[in-house]
Amino acid sequence: MTDGSETTLDLTLDEARDEAAELAERITAAREAYYGRNAAHVDDRTYDAWMTRLEEIERLHPQVQGQDSPTLSVGAAQSSELAPVTHAERMLSLDNVFSPEELTAWCEKTRAAAGREVHWLTEVKIDGLALSLRYEHGRLVSAATRGDGRVGEDVTTNAVRLDGIPRRLEGEG
């Protein structure tokens, strides 16, 4: 893998393929440690740099992106101890920005995609567990982790014990 000083435009297809494979391996190992064993072995800045570099390589050399690329998923594969739950809608992750210019570009891209002015609410991001809660007729019937974004783990029996998760919802809708 290059040290990142070589621009992606300078990479041959073989170099791009090799670097993308190495980055994918590092990112996957970091995700498994963080999500699967709750033991981060790289800091956020390093992880984000790897992901940014891989995204750049795949954008300029799309043929190197495999179906299992870390850029196509979030989280990690589910454990075999809990029942899998396929999400009705894919659970995504937050995008990162590292400069005011990147934030401005992201805001402009979002406005363009919405086709109208966008109103913003910002909140502090606290690392934790993302859950998908499903209610039927106002009653909690399923709680699942994000997993890889498509399939998570059924944690309903644990979720009903948490004070912040209502078992029933009031109202219409």
User: How many domains would you assign to the chain?
Assistant: 1
Residue 163, Cβ neighbours under 10 Å: how many? 5
CATH number at residue 48: 1.10.287.610
Considering the candidates 45, 116, 125, 137, report the single residue annotated as catalytic: 125
Does residue 1 belong to any structural domain of this protein? yes
**Taking 60 as the threshold, does the pLDDT of residue 39 lie above it?**
yes
Domain that holds residue 53: 1-72
How large is the average pLDDT for residues 66-74?
83
| Encoded tokens for 119 | 């109103």
Per-residue burial over 73-105, b = 16 or more CB atoms within 10 Å of its CB, e = otherwise: bbbbbbeeebeebebeeebeeeeeeeeeeeeee
Total-model pTM: 0.52
Give the SS3 label for residue 17.
Answer: helix
How large is the average pLDDT for residues 57-63?
92
Active site (annotated) includes residue 109: no
**Taking 80 as the threshold, does the pLDDT of residue 128 lie above it?**
no
pLDDT digits (tens, 9 = 90+) for 83-111: 999 999 888 877 778 889 989 999 999 99
**Residue 79: per-residue pLDDT:** 60
Tell how strand 84-86 and strand 131-136 pair up: unpaired
Please state, rounded to an integer, the average pLDDT across all residues of the chain. Answer: 85
Does residue 90 belong to any structural domain of this protein? no
